[in-house]
Amino acid sequence: MVEREYPFSPYPIGWFQVAYCDELEVGSVVPLKYFGQELVAFRGEDGDVKVLDAFCPHLGAHLGHGGKVKGNCIECPFHAWKFDGDGKCTDVPYAKKIPSKAKIQPWHVVERNGQVMVWHHPNGGEPKWELPDLEETRSEDWTSDERRSWKIKTRNQEMAENAVDSAHFHYVHGASNMPVSSAEIDGHILKVTSTTGMKTPRGGVDGQVQSFSYGFGFAYIRFTGIVDTLLVNSVTPIDEEYVDVRFSFRVKRVGNADITKGVGAAFVGEVSRQLEQDTPIWENKIHHERPLLCDGDGPIGIFRRWCKQFYVENEKQSDTAAA
């Protein structure tokens, strides 16, 4: 078995999805495991989602297993210590004084586009950018979301590189011609535009794919040609080996409901099929830090330069360049 080594961390800087908003009702508590850490998410009575490190500083109970929401706090299942959304202990029911160090590490959380997103920085740095608010996720002209998820043995950068790897769309996924791709960098945002032929039962159709990546954890992709489709894509590191992948599709309504549903289902199935074709390649490939490229490979060099800013070891250099 080949030992896979990477020149980059499994836990990059950025916003990452840990749940969908509708998976957390008021009063619910959910244990999580991401970034090689145990976490807990809960929704208080004020309606806000909070995420904390999972273990109580008292005797180590996991708040996600048996913890209860009390007001806007989470109560430890072991001795009923209560912690607010900032991780501060607000009550020890049997003590006269709360220990000054009774605090749990909180995470920055935003709810947007139906997703619960947390900010990850290995050194605890503050969020550097905001996530977009996509109109399609609120418009009645678009369907409700259709979701797919996978657990894949790879790293964020390896998956993200597919967006600029033009040739693989033809040789792996059967695109009817070789896609033409371009990439533009705007700070933390990478915009990739690809034009390719898409196969349909009625013959080939010229389609365009535009992807907007906000770091490695969040991207949205607009497909045109067959049917206007929005894919909101998130990839979150679980540990040093695996990532959680979530796809959320919305289709622009066309004709009657049955037509929309049929066309949308076919498209969702095709995109999901393509990811599952890529999976055994991701799970068994190695990473070449200096790959041997040719002139038809797509803007891989631009992509890799963009990637460097999301690793702590390159952070100061990236901040200086941005200034």
Domains (range + CATH), the chain? 14-120 (2.102.10.10), 139-309 (3.90.380.10)
Handedness of CA 297, 307, 283, 196 (dihedral sign): negative
Six token digits for residue 44: 């208080």
CA separation, residue 189 to residues 44, 212, 216, 222 (Å) = 33, 7, 10, 15
pLDDT of the residue at 163: 87
Q: Are 178 and 164 in contact (CB under 8 A)?
A: no
Could you give the CA distance from residue 285 to residue 101 in angstroms, rounded to a whole number? 46
pLDDT of 289 reads 93
Q: Which band of pLDDT confidence, cut at 50, 70 and 90, is reported for residue 2? A: low
Average pLDDT, the chain: 91
> CA nearest 211: which of 194, 227, 197, 235?
194
Rounded to whole angstroms, how far apart are CA atoms 20 and 41? 11
Q: Flag whether pLDDT at 203 surpasses 60.
A: no
% pLDDT > 90, the chain: 73
Per-residue pLDDT reduced to its tens digit, 263-296: 778 878 888 999 999 999 999 999 999 999 998 8
**Model confidence at 319, in pLDDT bands (50, 70, 90)?**
low
Q: What is the pTM of this model?
A: 0.92
Quick check: 309 pLDDT over 60? yes
Of 29-43, 159-173, 174-188, 243-257, the range with the highest mean pLDDT is 29-43
75-133 tens-digit pLDDT:
999 999 999 999 999 999 999 999 999 999 999 999 999 999 999 999 999 999 999 99
User: Which range (23-32, 186-195, 230-239, 257-266) has the least confidence?
Assistant: 257-266
Q: Say what the pLDDT of residue 227 is.
A: 79
Tens of pLDDT along 114-129? Answer: 999 999 999 999 999 9
Contacts of 81 (CB under 8 A, 6+ apart): 56, 58, 75, 89, 91, 92, 102
